[in-house]
Amino acid sequence: MLKNKKIIGCILILIFISIGILIDINKIKLEKIVMGGKYIDVIHDTSEKEVDNDEEDYSLERFFRPSKSPIINDKIEKSLYDMYGKKPSQVKLDDKLLKTPKDTIINYFSVLREAANPTDDINTGCGSLGDSKGPYPVAYNFLTSDYRKKLSYKEYLKSFENKLHINLVKLNEILPDKNKPNDIKYFVELEVIEGSKEKKGTFAYYYGYIYLDKEDGVYKIKDMNYNPENYLCAPYHGWSWDAKLFVETEYGEYWCDLIASELKVEQDGYEKKVYFSDKEGNEYYVLFYQLTNGVDIKIADYKKDKDGNWKGIYIEPEKCLDKNKNKK
């Protein structure tokens, strides 16, 4: 009798373990993939904070204007055309395309610029589109071998459905993630023509982060995350879309109570810096990039060291908010 109970116990344990594994696998499979990277659905803060639209810094008109940024992925190595349409396993990229992380990203999106993967239910364009599906096997080989093991070519191709033209409009290397200090991380913004069931195409914008690793002496893409840009959230709701209000709220008395000076905002193109000092006289600035939809996205924190040099640091205002909630 005791032996039977042990057997039944072991069987139940194995069943629970199997269920856990299946849940984990299904969770992975349920992740939405777009353009070869994980789709990150942005949680919009819709809390109200009054904004004076008459002030130049807070003009809401910027949220309605399309991109005027020059295209970065505007040239392609002609030898790549010979590999279009081949199987991914038949593609061999020239090392010169992958010499630096920046080269890799620009050449990757140069390959994808004229790629198109329309579905049967769209009516965008008239006839064939660009280089059709030919470039995708080539682009797939810009990914590291580990990334390709996690993301099959079939899944990669499907992630480009209704993506008919891609322009790279912003590209910058930024500080690595706090928990991955050795990773190479780049910020990108993409302008994408997407298909429609009507006889028209639509412009959509995505910003995201590309991580790279050195593999066999060249740089390849090890991960990608993309966030869609919303054009009607920022001008009507919330405070977190504007760099100055963001710093005033999260770093000021509302959350971290770190600010003991006037805020100073400097903007150069799409790069925006918000400067302030704390109670001990330490100087900081928070770096933002302004997206095509006008939204300011926090990129990194910097603090001036004793030698007068700006050094990247990691301030996490959400932890201040958690502490304040716990005090209550």
Taking alpha carbons only, the member of 237, 234, 207, 212 closest to residue 223 is 212
- Report residues of the chain scoring pLDDT below 70: 1-30, 42-65, 323-328
Domain contains 14:
no
Report pLDDT for 308. 95
Domain contains 269:
yes
- DSSP calls for 24-48: HHHHHHHS-EETTEEE---------
Report pLDDT for 4. 54
Residue 144 belongs to domain with CATH number = 3.10.450
Domain tally, the chain = 2
Domain contains 56:
no
Rg of the chain on CA atoms, in Å: 24
70 & 211 share domain: yes
Report pLDDT for 235. 83
Report pLDDT for 116. 94
- Write the single-letter amino acid at 72: I
Q: Write the pLDDT tens digit of every residue in 40-98.
A: 876 655 554 554 544 554 566 666 557 788 899 998 988 899 999 899 999 999 999 99
Residue 115's domain spans which residues?
Answer: 62-228
105 & 165 share domain: yes
206 & 274 share domain: no
83 & 156 share domain: yes
132 & 72 share domain: yes
Report pLDDT for 28. 44
Instruction: Kindly tell me the sign of the dihedral angle through the C-alpha atoms of 108, 110, 113, 116.
Output: negative
Taking alpha carbons only, the member of 291, 286, 232 closest to residue 46 is 232
213 & 276 share domain: no
Domain contains 125:
yes
* Most distant pair of Cα atoms in the chain: their distance: 82
224 & 82 share domain: yes
| Domain stops at, among 228, 251, 275 | 228
93 & 223 share domain: yes
- The CA distance from 151 to 143, in Å, is 10
CA-CA-CA-CA dihedral for 313, 318, 319, 323, to nearest 10: 140
